[in-house]
């Protein structure tokens, strides 16, 4: 699932900012950017992230900064000398005095901010603490997203169950509807011969057996119940994917066996719901 977590910690004149971004990915792919001198923490950071994320593309960025008031400006003597020489040459060529203010030199980069102080060892604990807080922030966001996805899946499963109920109700009348259509057709083609009732019943019984979708409906209901249980578990994965395949198999059989246009349309609606469930399951960790 997608997610974002951030945190900031302070220790004396130092501050630490951690940001973690997670996007959908089939496997777990972690990239960490750590402050200079603390790259040795990379494996520990990845271990912390793995405890929260089982898959996804994870980008973790941790920065260390010293307070601005602690930073001092220094003069780049070599560059200042070069600029002074250029100004002198300009005055010699033009015969004009050049009045230069400090503000005029801001873009010449002769002043440098000195942030070269090496962070102390105590910053290591601050980095670990900052990462922990950011991961908790990420976990909270992913849990909220997961709850929303779970609610959506449950609603679609309930919708599929209702549609299946309407299919079941329609399927009960299908043999009788076929009987009526057959009688009407025979009446239209009647050549004066009497209709053999036994033959008619045989034809109706044969087709009724072909149209019978009771087994598929029972299996579909069973798979729905299993899916309800699985999606609330910690690990969804392959079990849910397998059940979705079975649900699709049953609804395809229902659509192919039925001659009722309403049942066929209802089967299409169920398949649409199952496809949306499949897309949501791919996002759930």
Give the model confidence (pLDDT) of 87-102 as tens digits. Answer: 788 778 887 777 777 6
Same domain, 12 and 137: yes
Same domain, 244 and 190: yes
pLDDT band (50, 70, 90) for residue 115:
low
Domain containing residue 25: CATH number? 3.30.230
pLDDT value at residue 161: 93
Same domain, 148 and 219: yes
Same domain, 159 and 278: yes
pLDDT at 275 over 60: yes
pLDDT value at residue 61: 95
Where b means 16+ CB within 10 Å and e means fewer, 112-140 reads eeeeeeebeeebeebbbebbeebbebbbe
Same domain, 132 and 57: yes
Which residue segment(s) compose the domain that 99 sits in? 72-114
Same domain, 98 and 226: no
pLDDT band (50, 70, 90) for residue 74:
low
Same domain, 20 and 108: no
pTM score, whole prediction: 0.62
CB 253 within 8 A of CB 164: no
Same domain, 135 and 51: yes
pLDDT value at residue 135: 94
Same domain, 170 and 212: yes
pLDDT value at residue 95: 77
pLDDT tens per residue across span 10-54: 988 889 999 999 988 878 899 999 998 899 999 999 999 998 888
Same domain, 199 and 245: yes
Structural domain count of the chain: 3
Q: At what angle do helices 174-188 and 197-211 cross, to 10 degrees?
A: 140
Same domain, 31 and 130: yes
pLDDT value at residue 170: 85
Cα dihedral 143→148→154→157 (10° resolution): -120
Same domain, 77 and 150: no
pLDDT tens per residue across span 141-199: 988 888 888 899 999 999 999 999 999 988 887 767 766 776 676 666 665 556 566 77
């Amino acid at each position: 699932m997608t997610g974002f977590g951030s945190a900031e910690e302070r220790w004396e004149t130092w501050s630490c900012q951690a940001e973690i971004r997670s996007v959908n990915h089939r496997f777990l792919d972690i990239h960490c950017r750590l402050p200079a001198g603390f790259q040795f923490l990379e494996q520990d950071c990845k271990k912390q992230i793995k405890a929260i994320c089982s898959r996804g593309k994870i980008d973790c960025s941790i920065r260390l900064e010293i307070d601005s008031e602690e930073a001092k400006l220094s003069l780049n003597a070599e560059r200042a000398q070069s600029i002074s020489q250029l100004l002198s040459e300009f005055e010699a060529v033009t015969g004009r005095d050049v009045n230069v203010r400090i503000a005029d030199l801001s873009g010449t980069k002769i002043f440098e901010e000195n942030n070269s102080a090496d962070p102390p060892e105590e910053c290591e604990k601050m980095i670990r603490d900052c990462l922990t807080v950011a991961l908790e922030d990420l976990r909270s966001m992913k849990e909220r997203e997961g709850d929303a996805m779970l609610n959506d899946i449950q609603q679609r499963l309930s919708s599929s169950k209702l549609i299946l109920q309407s299919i079941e109700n329609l399927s009960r009348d299908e043999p009788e509807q076929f009987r009526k259509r057959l009688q009407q057709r025979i009446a239209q083609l009647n050549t004066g011969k009497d209709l053999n009732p036994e033959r008619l019943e045989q034809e109706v019984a044969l087709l009724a057996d072909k149209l019978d979708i009771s087994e598929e409906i029972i299996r579909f209901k069973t798979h729905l119940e299993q899916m309800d249980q699985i999606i609330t578990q910690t690990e969804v994965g392959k079990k849910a994917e397998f059940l979705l395949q079975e649900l699709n198999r049953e609804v395809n059989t229902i659509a192919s066996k039925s001659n009722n246009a309403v049942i066929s349309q209802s089967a299409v609606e169920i398949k649409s719901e199952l496809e949306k469930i499949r897309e949501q399951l791919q996002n759930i960790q």
